Every structure is written in C-alpha cells, then in structure tokens.
Amino acid sequence: MSGRDNGRRHPPRREKQDWRGQNNQYSNAKSDSWKKGNRNSTPVKCDKNGIPYERPRWNAPKLNSDPLPVPVCIRCGKPITDLHTALTDSKSGGTVHFDCAMAEVSKREILEEGDVLSYIGGGRFGVVRFADSGERGKKRSFTIKKIFEWENKEERAAWRDVIADHYSIT
C-alpha cells in the first residue's frame, strides 16, 4: 500500500466519452464531421444504450405560391386589396372594406360631442368617450358607451381560412 491512496479504493476508470455522450468505440467518420467544419451534416443522435443512429433531417414546408384571392366589397363593389383590414358582414357573410363598415355604422349612429366611433376589436365597433386628461392633448382613459357587433363570432368566414392557409404553413 502506498502512502498516497490512504487505503481507499478508487472506482475503476471509465472510457472517455465524446461530446454526444457515447463511447469513442461507437463513433464513426460520419459523426465526426462536426470536427471538420461540415455544418451541413446531420448530427448523430444516440439511443439509450449509446449506439448512434441517424436523426431525420427537418425539411421546411413549401410556401403557397398561389396568389391571394381578391374579393369584392358588397357595399361599394370595389376589389379589396388589403385583406388583413377587411371585415365580414354579419347579415350576408360577404367581405366588406373596413372603411365601408365604418361608414355604415357612422350612418346609423348619431354621436354626441366628445364621442368617437372606434373599432374595438373582435369584429366590433363602439361609441367611445375619452376623458380629458389635459396633458398635451393625450387621451388616456375612456368609456365604451355602446357596442355594435359587426362580425358574427360563431361563424368564421371562408376567405379568412384561405388567408390563414396561405401564411400559416407550419
């Protein structure tokens, strides 16, 4: 017994493991391609026993090359080029320009002084009254006095699905 070990037993030495957590005896030339700077190679993944296997490479989905449809506004009869601002009419289900919908609601409603007609989201317009803050004309707090449901919440328009399928590919 030497003076260095103090009588303690040390665990047996293990073989060195490479960066993937596998023993060097399983590594091969293809899995060492990362050392050579080949970034296009697929990293090797190991199973629970440390045996390497090829991981399937992710392929990006194909972009939709079809042009977006250009619907016609049922109020003014002009084509709608900005589909992201268009609304669906709750009565007929047709597509409407945002400005045409705003004009339709403003014709129906007589606003008092200090009231503003505003889009409040979710296919709804509202009559909004801002409280005067006096700080350089900034209007911070407001009250919604009346709400107009423009789009039907239960039914999603078919043209919205076409747009979603065009941009959401994953």
Q: What is the 3-state secondary structure (H, E, C) of 71-128?
A: CECCCCCCECCCHHHCEECCCCCCEECHHHHHHHHHHHCCCCCCEEEEEEECCEEEEE
Rounded to whole angstroms, how far apart are CA atoms 73 and 81?
Answer: 10
Residue 74 confidence (pLDDT): 93
Residue 26 confidence (pLDDT): 46
Residue 41 confidence (pLDDT): 55
pTM (predicted TM-score):
0.57
Q: If 0-12 CB within 10 Å is exposed, 13-18 middle and 19+ buried, where does residue 73 land?
A: buried
Residue 67 confidence (pLDDT): 81
Residue 82 confidence (pLDDT): 87
Residue 55 confidence (pLDDT): 72
Asked if 31 and 44 count as a contact pair (C-beta separation under 8 A), the reply is yes
Mean pLDDT by 10 residues, the chain (170 residues): 61 60 49 50 71 79 79 93 87 90 90 89 90 64 89 84 74
Domain boundaries, the chain: 11-59
